[in-house]
Amino acid sequence: MSFSDAPIVEFSDTVPRLPAWIRSGRGQSDADIAFLSGAAVSHLDHVLASGLVPASLLRQRLALLSAEACLAYSGRPERAADLRDEVHFLRPGDQPGPAGKTYLAWQHAVDRKGTVASLSRTLGDHAPDRIAMWLDAGRGSPVSQAAGVLEAVLADMPRQQAFALILAEAALARALGWDRITPILTLGFGTRAPRETGSELGLACHQAILKAVPQVGALATDLARRRMRLQTAAPKLRARGAEAAVQLFLTQDAVAPSALTSLRSDRAARRLCDRLVELGAVRELTGRDTFRLYGV
Q: Which residue blocks in 97-136 are alpha helix, DSSP H?
A: 98-111, 116-123, 128-135
Q: What tens digit of pLDDT does each residue of 107-136 get?
A: 999 998 888 988 988 887 778 899 999 999
Asked whether the predicted pLDDT for residue 217 surpasses 70, the reply is yes
Taking the domain 237-295, which CATH number applies?
1.10.10
* Domain segments of the chain as ranges: 20-224, 237-295
Return the half-sphere exposure (C-beta side, CA atoms, 13 A cut-off) of residue 187: 21
- Cα(258)–Cα(290) distance, integer angstroms: 12
Q: Report pLDDT for 249.
A: 97
If one compares 78 and 237, the residue with the highest pLDDT of the two is: 237
- Cα(71)–Cα(165) distance, integer angstroms: 12
Q: Report pLDDT for 25.
A: 59
Asked whether the predicted pLDDT for residue 3 surpasses 70, the reply is no
- Cα(54)–Cα(227) distance, integer angstroms: 7
Question: What are the CA-CA distances from residue 156 to residues 18, 107, 133, 134, 184 (Å)?
Answer: 37, 24, 12, 10, 23
Asked whether the predicted pLDDT for residue 12 surpasses 80, the reply is no
> Beta partners for 283?
295
pTM over 0.75: yes
Name, in order, each residue with C-beta under 8 angstroms of 131's C-beta and a sequence gap of 6 or more. 116, 119, 120, 123, 167
Asked whether the predicted pLDDT for residue 4 surpasses 90, the reply is no
Asked whether the predicted pLDDT for residue 235 surpasses 60, the reply is yes
